[in-house]
Amino acid sequence: MREINFDGLIGPSHNYAGLSFGNLASMGNAGSIARPRAAALQGLDKMGRMLALGLDQGMLLPHPRPDVNWLRELGFAGDDVAVCRAAFAQEPAMLGAALSASAMWTANAATVSPASDTADGRCHLSVANLSSMLHRSIEPVQTLRQLQLAFADPRHFAVHAALPAALGDEGAANHMRMGAGHGARGVEIFVHGDALGLRGGAYPSRQHRAASAAIVRRHGLTDALLVQQSEAAIAAGAFHNDVVAVANEHVLFTHQHAFADPAQTYAAIRAAVPGAVIIEAPADRISLAEAVGSYLFNSQLVTMPDGHMTLVVPGEVRDTPTVWQWLGEQVASNGPIAQVEVVDVRESMRNGGGPACLRLRVAVSEAAHAAIDPRFLLDPAKLDRVATVVEAHWPEAIAPTDLGEADLWRQCMTARGALLSALGFAEGEL
């Protein structure tokens, strides 16, 4: 079995509109000047680092932005520019949603179960509906198209459309998998807020228990845990579980206050995964505020070709002394995390997405790997080709006042077209 991380390429419309209520970074940086070109190049650098470490790397593509088809569904008419101009004049918040580049956070693209866990022996992918946020709720249609292209072979893959919007589903950001290895049967851990997001706190819980249970049934999983996220974590700005916990093979790396009932959660994991190792950051060493601010747990915990584990963290972890010191102690203790890799994804971080937000993990057999559409898989030469397109076509900066400019709308459309052409996609295919 091979694990592939599919990162989202940060799109040319990347901006700081502050659309994500409950995401403290997104809300706090609203109105700032964004740098889409730098953001995309930072993401590509991270992908290149993963390739250099000997890991498989894929890429999902930016969605069409502005999404003029969605705006037309809202009654705006005319050619593309006329539609955007009318939306900006009458409903500027709608144009803001139509310009959002949030599809770059592919941890929210889908929930993925490897073939070793499912009843029919195929890898199952369920597109997330992202119904709790308007700007993200428009993503599932395009996400489904990409996943159906990338994983088209029905012998190895089953790609499911999003659940009904009333069942809030945020994808892999609230899903973990643990087991002896990627090829062995594992236990899938679904972390939810409550039944239907009906909580009284300041911020909404975005993953509904009923949605998680539906994915378990749909994927034919017999070994699954449904675990409730702690109210304290949600209130602190952990809008997804992957802001406070990450798992890889037999290791869970988590904050003390990630789960509503940590003792029961750990006991269930240890019962399901013999030899499970739980690394818990105590709140008296790392507060929830420090965990959310640094995105320590929104890191990629990956198994290297030689079998040891590496934690890929954002630069903000190194910039937070208490967090960096504690993490150094874990590495020095000769535990399962053997080394730390620091990446710069600052532009994404300022909008509330760290290294783990930017990737969707897919574990496949060699035969299934060969069946994936190669246009979605990366090697150094293709990475360089994409970087050339980004440097030539992505806007250098987007200020809030630019969102109403036709030149920006045209540039974003042209940039995506140039990318699709460079990767070999036919006109209209995506």
Contacts of 108 by beta carbon, 8 Å cutoff, 6+ apart = 102, 128, 130, 136, 139, 170, 171, 172, 173, 240, 357
* Residue 84 · residue 92 · CB < 8 Å: no
Buried residues in 132-147 as b, exposed as e (16+ CB within 10 A): bbbbbbbbbebbbebb
Burial level of 104, CB count in 10 A (0-12/13-18/19+)?
buried
User: Which tokens sit at 309?
Assistant: 């584990």
Burial level of 194, CB count in 10 A (0-12/13-18/19+)?
middle
Query: What amino acid positions are annotated as catalytic residues?
Result: 170, 240, 357
Q: Is 404 helix (H, G, I), strand (E, B) or coil?
A: helix
Place of tokens 């940590």: 262
Please state the separation of Cα 129 from the chain's center in Å: 13
Contacts of 38 by beta carbon, 8 Å cutoff, 6+ apart = 347, 396
Q: Is 72 helix (H, G, I), strand (E, B) or coil?
A: helix
* Residue 310 · residue 340 · CB < 8 Å: yes
